[in-house]
Amino acid sequence: MTKQRRIGSKATAVFLAFALVQICIQLSFAAPASPSAPAVVPQQFIARLTTTGNQPITVNNASAASGASLLTGANIVTPAGVSATIDLGALGTVELQPDSEIQLDFDDSGNVRVKVLRGCVVIKKNGPGEAEAYTAEGASEKTNSNRKGMGFCFAGGGLSPFGQAAAAAAGGGSGGGIGTAALVAILAGGGALVGGLIWAFSGGGNSSPS
């Protein structure tokens, strides 16, 4: 009986040890992740595109039109005659003029960065963070508490204010003054007026008495 009891006790001990190992394995799979485990990445912010007349533009070398979704890092190109607006929701908007190219970056902190490669862009910033227009050559302009909107055109590696660049392209000069053709017409008209006054006061308008 003693020998049989010893055999039974050993068998019971082996069974309990095996059961304990199985329980430990199950608990290890059910244990929560350690603090060093990487956090879950939140869903990436998405912008929405609208184009003039729903005409196509190019996003990352592919055709895109109104309603397309844009992720940060997108390269955006507009052809001649077609402009585009990128709606960043609470962050604001980025308006791309025709025949322009930019690289657009934005993050969950509200920061918006626009690399101007050619053409013109208008940025309207809302919410937290700042917006920056910059070039590969090192030019940079940023929004602040007093400037929430700004527009610039790429000019020889620099950034020219959008209004001035548009006036220069139209032939009106950087200050939006009188164009050359208009100035010539005014001077010509003024010369005719002066000549007429001289002729009138010199008696050219009256016939000499007989």
Would you say the pTM of this structure is higher than 0.75? Answer: no
Tell me the two tokens of residue 27.
């608990």
Cβ distance 74 to 103 under 8 Å?
A: yes
Residue 161, strand partner residues: 152
Residue 122: phi, psi to the nearest 5? -120, 125
Percentage of the chain surpassing pLDDT 90? 53
Look at 128 and 19; give whichever has higher pLDDT.
Answer: 128
Look at 132 and 20; give whichever has higher pLDDT.
Answer: 132
CA 1 to chain centre: 88
Q: What is the pLDDT of residue 7?
A: 59
pLDDT single digits (tens) 143-193: 998 999 999 999 999 999 987 655 555 554 333 333 333 333 333 444 444
Q: What is the pLDDT of residue 9?
A: 63
Q: Categorize the per-residue pLDDT at 13 as very low, low, confident or very high, splitting at 50, 70 and 90.
A: low
Stated as kind and residue range, the H or E segment containing 35 is none
Average model confidence (pLDDT) for the chain?
75
Q: Is the pLDDT of residue 201 over 60?
A: no
CA 57/CA 68 separation, integer angstroms: 11
